[in-house]
Structure 1
Amino acid sequence: MPDTITDFAAIRRPVAEARGLPNPHYTDPATHARERDRLFFDTWAGLAVAADVPEPGDARPVDYMGVPLLLIRGRDGAVRVFQNICRHRGMILVAEPRRIEGAIRCPYHSWCYGTDGRLVATPHVGGPGMNTHEAIDKATLGLIEVRSHVWRDVVWVNLSGDAPPFEEVHANLIARWTDFDRALHHGGAESRFTLDVNCNWKLAVENYCESYHLPWVHPGLNAYSRLEDHYNIEAPGLYSGQGSTLYRQIRGADGATFPDFPALPAYWDTAAEYVALYPNVLLGVHRDHAFTIILQPVSQGRTVEHIHLYYATDDTAPDLRAANAAQWKTVFQEDIFVVEGMQAGRSAPGFDGGRFSPAMDGPTHCFHDWVAGRLAGVQ
């Protein structure tokens, strides 16, 4: 059942009347491939974080839904993304994360590139001992750069190159979180972890969007930040999520807390917000830390979640950072059985996508509406 016969109009109805995306959008490889093109390649999607390449020369290969990309920090400190292939015969250039000490050298014929993508050397290209040839114009054969933008340390990419500027597309959320327009400091090794989940990436987005499941899936969290302390966030066509009016800081054994981000309005003393920025980046902001989750779709039924925690300063206590990471890891692990259970449920042939609670599922419906609109070609 290909997605070409999906009734997108039924999905895009008001939340009280709408159905969810039907099974093929979670189980069908052909539908998954079409979603890749329309929902990821034609938009701004999250690739990695700039903290993955902290020093000049650091390079990290990334499999971006089947496309080999290279994340690299240049000698000038700028983070760039290139196709991870040599312009000679298409050989993969960098197979593992590493520091580029000199040039990026192709392991096949030793063509060499600078960290800014320029082709700088072509050994024996004109014959033995002849390193130039009139037919090989190095100025036009640099690495193929992928359009990218860094916001909140996330490296966003637009593979097609056709999307409007990132700042224009996401001006709404940038303005909403202008209070958090501050430097972010990655917490280091203890503040990054991954979760390998057997579900379609969209189910991870849907679950993150809503607070409806808190009492049953996160009883510990719900004990102090209750369902009734949450509110829905909906920006149709852009993002959706939830907010809490009762955020409680983590404290060390000595009562210490993380430093707050500077100059925050009093509202954020007890508030927090959690937003899914479509298609695949989940963001959380609090007075004293933030986190980013980049969803990496591996297949229609498998997703890797890359979680990173950030702080207002780079000198926070390691034990408190470790405790905070452990706390969030517990919360995110509690969601795994839910998203994997929904994935298994998508094998039931009679399931038509389900219905939404008009009061509680608005953020999830907002995401379904975005998916349906892009696939229908009206966004």
Structure 2
Amino acid sequence: MTVLIDTAFFNAFDQVGPVHHGLPAAAYTRSEFFELESNLLFTASWSFVGFAHQLAKVGDVQPLTVAGKPVFLVRSESDKIRAFHNVCRHRNLKLIDRAGHCDVLITCPYHRWSYDFSGKLRLAPYFGGEKTGLPDGFDLADHGLYEIRCHTFHDWVFINLDGQAEYFDVFIEPLKRQLIGFEPEKFEPVATLDFGEVPANWKLLMENFIEPYHVQYVHKTTTSQPLEDHYVVADEHCLGSAIELTAEQQADAAAGTLGVSSRYLTLFPNFVLGLYYPDQIGVHLNRPVSADTTQQSRVIYLHRDSDHSQAAVEHARQLWDSVHREDHHMCERLQAGRHSSVAEGGGVLSPHWEVSVRRFQELVADAVRPGLEGGI
């Protein structure tokens, strides 16, 4: 049965009671809802899009698709990560088609229009007939690349496509509060896990990370973190959970498992950061591809004074690969379940353990409500 996405779409979700419904199934399966999210949520938000260390040299470039739009990142002459719409101003060809390095200029392969790393148009050969000639009234300065608001927080790059989101300092403040006492600048990237495309909606991967309810069941062989010792984090749009383990609990953790005090933090819409005391950070990049597909990668960071040996890094890599694949298996089944008519009501959420999931879903719903009038 086709579900109309209109102003009645959230009726069950909006019901008031001690136990709330989750988002309707169509929010995870319908391309129309995914398009609403692209246009009204990801375009208007500070979206997490990449890692600064992957653009190490001036001139390094990386193409992205954000909210269905072609974008690229570049490390500019000022050693700053900048973002631009990935479109030549001449005939609108996609400029950057793969990650790489540009020595001096970013050059369109079609007619050799060339831009510097601050987006200024430097060359438009033969555009006026002669090699360096320009049409009357045509000024190179008026035809640079369109820049996108971009900020880097530690190693993590965020962009805002429509230029209307709140100041970045306001956006990042809840995460900063949760990081008090932790010093991310002292951590170094040591490994990247690239999971490619996961056949699940991006929200399922986010919700799975936010709630601790599943940990003792799904991760019983990879973690030693009792559910009852967790607590929920809901600090504005910084959502997740945390656990404080005693020294005795950490000593008793099963060998090879995650048995340390941890914080599982997200920033709406798609930033994911795990703190694992005392010396490890993990950051997930979830890139929505379609209603039922998400690209996911994870960068593992170790404190600069901790053990960076090959054995230590490989242990971390294997542990997190196992944890992610356990989560992926659940998220893929969550995606499959949402094709049942039973899921149209959104299921129900624990009023204790899934409070942050509910808040995440409310932020999604509030972002797309303006697009629901009349239905799609």
- State whether TM-score is above 0.5: yes
Residue 341 of structure 2 corresponds to residue 333 of structure 1: no
Say what the alpha-carbon RMSD is for the aligned residues. Answer: 2.5
Shift of 1:350: 2.9
Shift of 1:28: 0.8
5 Å matches for 1:70-89?
70-89=72-91
Once the two structures are superposed, what CA deviation does each residue of 1:28-76 show, in whole Å capped at 9, x if it has no partner?
1111100112221111111111122111111111122321111110122
Q: Which one of 274, 287, 293 corresponds to residue 284 of structure 1?
A: 274
Relative to 1, partners in 2 of residues 1:83 and 1:294: Cα closer, same or farther, differing over 3 Å?
Answer: same
Shift of 1:273: 0.4
**Alpha-carbon contact 2:47-2:158 (below 8 Å) kept:** yes
Alpha-carbon distance between aligned partners in 1 of 2:15 and 2:358, rounded to the nearest angstrom:
9
Alpha-carbon distance between aligned partners in 1 of 2:295 and 2:358, rounded to the nearest angstrom:
23
Q: Which residue of 2 aligns with 1:244?
A: 243
Q: Which residue of 1 aligns with 2:346?
A: 353
Once the two structures are superposed, what CA deviation does each residue of 1:340-372 show, in whole Å capped at 9, x if it has no partner?
101011111132101111122112111112112
Shift of 1:233: 1.0
Q: Which residue of 2 aligns with 1:364?
A: 357
Residue 308 of structure 2 corresponds to residue 316 of structure 1: yes
5 Å matches for 1:193-232?
193-222=194-223, 224-232=224-232
| Structure 1 outlier segments of 4+, above 4 Å | 12-15
Alpha-carbon distance between aligned partners in 1 of 2:269 and 2:84, rounded to the nearest angstrom:
21
Moved more, 126-135 or 316-325: 126-135
Moved more, 145-154 or 339-348: 145-154
Shift of 1:129: 2.6
Shift of 1:139: 1.0
Alpha-carbon distance between aligned partners in 1 of 2:226 and 2:189, rounded to the nearest angstrom:
28
Q: Which one of 153, 162, 166 corresponds to residue 164 of structure 1?
A: 166
Once the two structures are superposed, what CA deviation does each residue of 1:319-340 show, in whole Å capped at 9, x if it has no partner?
3112212211111110111111
Once the two structures are superposed, what CA deviation does each residue of 1:222-261 show, in whole Å capped at 9, x if it has no partner?
4x2221221111134x121110112859xxx9xxxxxxxx
Shift of 1:14: 5.9
Q: Which residue of 2 aligns with 1:264?
A: none
Moved more, 11-20 or 287-296: 11-20
Once the two structures are superposed, what CA deviation does each residue of 1:290-333 show, in whole Å capped at 9, x if it has no partner?
11101111100001112111223288223311221221111111
**Alpha-carbon contact 1:11-1:372 (below 8 Å) kept:** no
Q: Which residue of 1 aligns with 2:54?
A: 52
Residue 145 of structure 2 corresponds to residue 143 of structure 1: yes
**Alpha-carbon contact 2:43-2:67 (below 8 Å) kept:** no
**Alpha-carbon contact 1:239-1:367 (below 8 Å) kept:** no
**Alpha-carbon contact 1:288-1:312 (below 8 Å) kept:** yes
Q: Which residue of 1 aligns with 2:116?
A: 114
Q: Which residue of 1 aligns with 2:294?
A: 303
Q: Which secondary structure state, in structure 2, belongs to the residue aligned with residue 350 of structure 1? A: helix
Match for 1:280: what amino acid? N
Relative to 1, partners in 2 of residues 1:197 and 1:211: Cα closer, same or farther, differing over 3 Å?
Answer: same
5 Å matches for 1:35-50?
35-50=37-52
TM-score by length of 2: 0.89
TM-score by length of 1: 0.88
Once the two structures are superposed, what CA deviation does each residue of 1:172-192 show, in whole Å capped at 9, x if it has no partner?
22122132344154434x334
Alpha-carbon distance between aligned partners in 1 of 2:296 and 2:154, rounded to the nearest angstrom:
17
Percent of aligned pairs with the same amino acid: 29
Unaligned stretches of 5+ in structure 1? 254-268
Q: How many residue pairs were aligned?
A: 359
Alpha-carbon distance between aligned partners in 1 of 2:188 and 2:27, rounded to the nearest angstrom:
34
Relative to 1, partners in 2 of residues 1:103 and 1:6: Cα closer, same or farther, differing over 3 Å?
Answer: same
Q: Which residue of 1 aligns with 2:374?
A: none
Q: Which residue of 1 aligns with 2:93?
A: 91
Q: Which residue of 2 aligns with 1:258?
A: none
Moved more, 336-345 or 226-235: 226-235
Match for 2:33: what amino acid? T
Q: Which residue of 2 aligns with 1:260?
A: none
Match for 1:44: what amino acid? W
Relative to 1, partners in 2 of residues 1:107 and 1:313: Cα closer, same or farther, differing over 3 Å?
Answer: same
